[in-house]
Chain A
């Protein structure tokens, strides 16, 4: 069986600075795989390259198909979806419009709006605020809108960049509960997080990215109790 995503020896550079240096990783369908690591390790760069937002060297296979020549929009058509750290919402458009645009790739299908009710059921807060513009939402609500919009895309591979960044602990817990719920739907998730404990607790498999290179990798449950990971990323206490 071919892996859903297979990354082989990926390099990404900003000018002369190489931010991602020979990263290889693979993930199976239906899993949550997390990439943890410190600030500036190249996590966001990695996701941007996988999405096609940044040029890269090396190979990326999605479902066995080489994605080297695919533009961002072609990757979206394949069901690859990125929720970036900056959320990239449509600030002066309503919550409902933001969600509908998520279904843009299904615009020619009948009933492309049908997913809307499903998303509102999952995020009641968004249903309350559907007429409000996205720019007026709080940080947590914006993250929910970004996730909801991603769900409208019916992703086969969902890449989340720091979904918990800048959010209050209570909301972080809610976001991770939602992510766990998505797995039940059969969505494959590549999760990039600085909040290593939360990420490891919800993931199946984990990679540790340090200064652009993969350090350790293994089942998330194993890494959660690994002495070195614990000392470096989990504040020393298990």
Chain B
């Protein structure tokens, strides 16, 4: 293999990897705070891209109906749980948080789509539509079973994925869509041609990884989110509400998902079911990083991207096989390298 070819493959791999970085970060984030492996994460990415494409085409995206439906359901779940506890006086606040707040962007989108909108407004609408999806799904499906074992949470997560991607088929149809790129520019670095979109993607991934690391290591709110994952009872005794922590984590995850949707959409054609594979490969990247560290997940995801592009060069039919097969040696290696914790009192996984 010549150096030129290797460089080309590496560039392609990094561009792919940057996609996986954002998703892997989201998966680690959700897992660290709630112990949930959020399988539908990739679907949210696809929703992001498809929603933007629909808005650009002047059609009302099905996401509007999904948000409204989930908001109604979430409010119902919250109302039942409040009434069950005899806390009817909290109903107005619940209606504001779970019904009014998520419904607002949906109604705005319903009213605005079809008119001539500047690009920035279209992006903003997409973000505002995808953002509530994470917290709503969390409130409906996961918070009632927050104390369940990891396996149960995973099963619910898988079921949720099928439901959401099924609805995407109804909303967006079987055809893929590709929104316009955020920026149109090409740079020449040496012999390579790099698109501005790729650079933007890399910059966003690096910023997100660094930002999340800082947030969780340095800020009190970040520490509180981590504390919820480490010890739920301990966190509650400090006045940290696990439900709020979970909601915040899912909100951040939604933000990462819509960001990657906006960034990937213009580069790769996404259809209703392409989110799953993106999520799965990012999950492999997150696992390589140990599922606990943001920089680790970012590097792992980049590695997956590189691996994919180099295998595709030798035999594209093995692209997927190699990415998933790499899990086995990685897990064996990790179990050898990671020392067993001396004190397993806090380990409840």
Interface residues of A (CB under 8 A from B): 51, 53, 69, 72-73, 76-77, 81-82, 84, 86, 88-93, 97, 100-105, 107, 112, 135-136, 149, 153
Given contacts A73-B236, A101-B220, A107-B224, 16 further A-B contacts (CB under 8 A): A53-B236, A72-B236, A76-B236, A76-B238, A77-B239, A84-B237, A88-B234, A90-B226, A91-B343, A92-B230, A100-B223, A104-B239, A112-B220, A135-B343, A135-B345, A135-B346
User: Chain A residues near B85 (CB, 8 Å)?
Assistant: 69
User: Chain B residues near A136 (CB, 8 Å)?
Assistant: 342-343
A138 CB, nearest partner CB in chain B, Å: 11
User: Chain A residues near B238 (CB, 8 Å)?
Assistant: 76, 101-102, 104-105, 149, 153
**B343/A100 in contact, CB under 8 A:** no
Interface centre among A97, A100, A101, A149 (most CB of B within 10 A): A101
User: Chain B residues near A51 (CB, 8 Å)?
Assistant: 237
Known: A76-B238, A76-B239. A90 touches B227 (CB 8 A): yes
- Select from chain A the residue with minimum beta-carbon distance to B230: A90
Interface centre among A100, A104, A105, A149 (most CB of B within 10 A): A104
Bound state CA distance, A136 and B339, in angstroms? 14
Bound state CA distance, A153 and B85, in angstroms? 27
User: Chain B residues near A88 (CB, 8 Å)?
Assistant: 231, 233-234, 237
Contact with A along B282-299 (1 / 0, CB 8 A): 000000000000000000
Decide if B337 is an interface residue (CB 8 Å cutoff): no
**B220/A82 in contact, CB under 8 A:** no
Bound state CA distance, A107 and B239, in angstroms? 11
User: Chain A residues near B240 (CB, 8 Å)?
Assistant: 73, 101, 104
What class of interface size applies to chain B in its complex with A? 20 to 34
Q: Which of B221, B230, B237, B342 contacts A72 (CB 8 A)?
A: B237
Bound state CA distance, A149 and B86, in angstroms? 32
Bound state CA distance, A8 and B341, in angstroms? 45
**B346/A91 in contact, CB under 8 A:** yes
- Select from chain B the residue with minimum beta-carbon distance to A68: B86
**A93/B341 in contact, CB under 8 A:** no
Contact with A along B196-208 (1 / 0, CB 8 A): 0000000000000
List, sorted by A's number, 17 A–B pairs whose CB atoms are closer than 8 Å.
Answer: A73-B236, A73-B240, A86-B345, A88-B234, A90-B231, A90-B235, A90-B346, A91-B230, A91-B346, A93-B223, A93-B226, A101-B235, A102-B238, A104-B220, A104-B240, A105-B239, A135-B341
Decide if B178 is an interface residue (CB 8 Å cutoff): no
Decide if B87 is an interface residue (CB 8 Å cutoff): yes
Nearest 7 Cβ contacts at the A-B interface: A91-B346, A88-B234, A76-B239, A105-B239, A90-B230, A135-B343, A72-B236
Contact with A along B223-255 (1 / 0, CB 8 A): 110110011011111111100000000000000
Interface centre among A86, A92, A107 (most CB of B within 10 A): A92
**A97/B223 in contact, CB under 8 A:** yes
Bound state CA distance, A59 and B29, in angstroms? 41
User: Chain A residues near B233 (CB, 8 Å)?
Assistant: 53, 84, 86, 88
User: Chain A residues near B226 (CB, 8 Å)?
Assistant: 90, 93
